[in-house]
Amino acid sequence: MDALRDALDHVRAELRSGASPLLTAAALLDAVAVSLHAQFAPALRPVINATGIIIHTNLGRAPLSEAAQAAMIGVAAGYSTLEFDLATGKRGSRLTHPERALTALTGAEAALVVNNNAAAVLLLLTALTKDREVIISRGQLVEIGGGFRIPDVMAQSGARLVEVGTTNKTRLSDYERAITPATAALLRAHASNFKQIGFVESAPLAELAGLAHERGLLLLDDLGSGALLDTAVYGLEHEPTVGESLAVGADLVAFSGDKLLGGPQAGIIVGKAPLIAALKQHPLARAVRADKLTIAALVATLDHYRKGEAISQIPIWQMIAAPLDQLRATAESWAHTLGGEVIAGESMVGGGSLPGATLPTALLALTPPNADAFAAQLRAADPPVIARIADGRVLFDPRTVFATQGDDLLRAVRSAL
Ligand SMILES: *Cc1c(COP(=O)(O)O)cnc(C)c1O
């Protein structure tokens, strides 16, 4: 009704201004249909990611495995055991579902899942270090995407930031000298989205653990991405794993669910049982708790790791592990249909994981008269295709395009051509 009234108002306004609008019913209804389509077209919609950036923050980070999608739908459509214990018929905890898988996978005593890693870090600082001092290296006072700044999060938590060392070098002795009776913890934050090269030095986590425990302090590790598998196997740099942090003595480790884990947006904290218990009790934990869809998808994702099938089932690991000759074959088949040339290029892991690390790939390169206009046309396709532009060329990386999206991609590019 609103759309019909708007269309009629528009016609009346045109008549009043002396114009002669199309007054057939068909023309009016067409205008109404166009306006309704525009109003109900979801702004949040699937796109084809041809950028080759695997964990693309702007495109929704990690795509979920089929099992994770099915698990979400399973609990979304009806009622579930979210907080219900079938054995006793009494109230259960939503936290038990992912905790079992997380402790089994990481060797941690206990685990807690919250809404995202920013919330995880805020929670652990607030619950364990409020009004006390937390020592961190100047080289780790990072800002990651979306305005998450370590110093700001610390201020918000009520912890007092004590920065030590310099931008490029921080030694164990720097931490040691800064410890006072007011110190609660040493914090290590992963640099995530930048890399220091040259004369760089930082204290190894194992040494920080030794110092912290000798002085009765906590060692908290904001690991950021939180890999469970070794990225070095795929020709990437070694990204510190959750298990390694725990093994060298971190008391609590916080990481994201939708970076290198390849699951839903979530913040995961693993570590010592009494500390996790304290976090669970804190009012902030309730404010930042994860919802049932997240928990369902996370458990399904973690189970891929437990069954040893992460590489074959989790999309981001399939993409990381995709063999170059397979990527080249796809790029060549695209070139066969669309023209253009296949060139060597690089895919990126993205998402604040492994800054600067790339994987060799094969790209389809097209050279339209106007690359920006061409890319805009691709974004207007349904589904939209997001490509990379470099040196006046539009580049398509098969690594991040699902096999099921190939036809849509070809159709969108052909129509833009
Ligand atoms: C990504 C990241 C965060 C924030 O995680 P979200 O899950 O995006 O909230 C916090 N700390 C570090 C070091 C990160 O890399």
DSSP 182-216: TEEEEEEE--TT----SS-B---HHHHHHHHHHTT
Ligand 1 site, residue 116, Cβ cutoff 6 A: yes
Ligand 1 site, residue 256, Cβ cutoff 6 A: yes
Give me the pLDDT at residue 24, please. 84
Ligand 1 site, residue 63, Cβ cutoff 6 A: no
Give me the pLDDT at residue 25, please. 86
Give me the pLDDT at residue 226, please. 86
Give me the pLDDT at residue 20, please. 78
* CATH class entry, domain 66-310: alpha beta
Stretches in the chain below the pLDDT threshold 70: none
Cα of 254 vs centre of ligand 1, distance in Å, is 9
- Give the amino acid at 136: I
Give me the pLDDT at residue 23, please. 75
**Backbone angle region of 195, left / alpha / beta, with phi > 0 → left and psi within -120 to 50 → alpha:** beta
Which ligand 1 atom sits closest to the C-alpha of 266? 7
Give me the pLDDT at residue 46, please. 97
Pocket test for ligand 1, best of 192, 195, 253 (most atoms within 8 A of CB): 192
What is 48-61+317-416's CATH number? Answer: 3.90.1150.180
Pocket test for ligand 1, best of 57, 144, 223 (most atoms within 8 A of CB): 144
Residues of the chain with CATH 3.40.640.10: 66-310
Ligand 1 site, residue 192, Cβ cutoff 6 A: yes
Alpha carbons 221 and 367: distance in angstroms, whole number? 46
Alpha carbons 130 and 32: distance in angstroms, whole number? 57
Cα of 50 vs centre of ligand 1, distance in Å, is 24
Residues of the chain with CATH 3.90.1150.180: 48-61+317-416
Alpha carbons 294 and 279: distance in angstroms, whole number? 19
Buried b (16+ CB within 10 A) or exposed e, 50-83: bbbbbbbbebebbbbbebbeebbeebeeeeeeee
Query: Distance of CA 243 to CAs 134, 223, 254, 262, Å?
Result: 23, 11, 12, 17
Hey, is 267 helix, strand or coil? strand
Ligand 1 site, residue 267, Cβ cutoff 6 A: yes
Cα of 16 vs centre of ligand 1, distance in Å, is 57
Give me the pLDDT at residue 266, please. 98
Ligand 1 site, residue 221, Cβ cutoff 6 A: no
DSSP 62-85: SPPPHHHHHHHHHHHSS---TTEE
Give me the pLDDT at residue 357, please. 82
Give me the pLDDT at residue 84, please. 96
What count of Cα atoms within 13 Å lies in the side-chain half-sphere of residue 364?
A: 27
- Give the amino acid at 225: S
Cα of 7 vs centre of ligand 1, distance in Å, is 47
Alpha carbons 406 and 269: distance in angstroms, whole number? 38
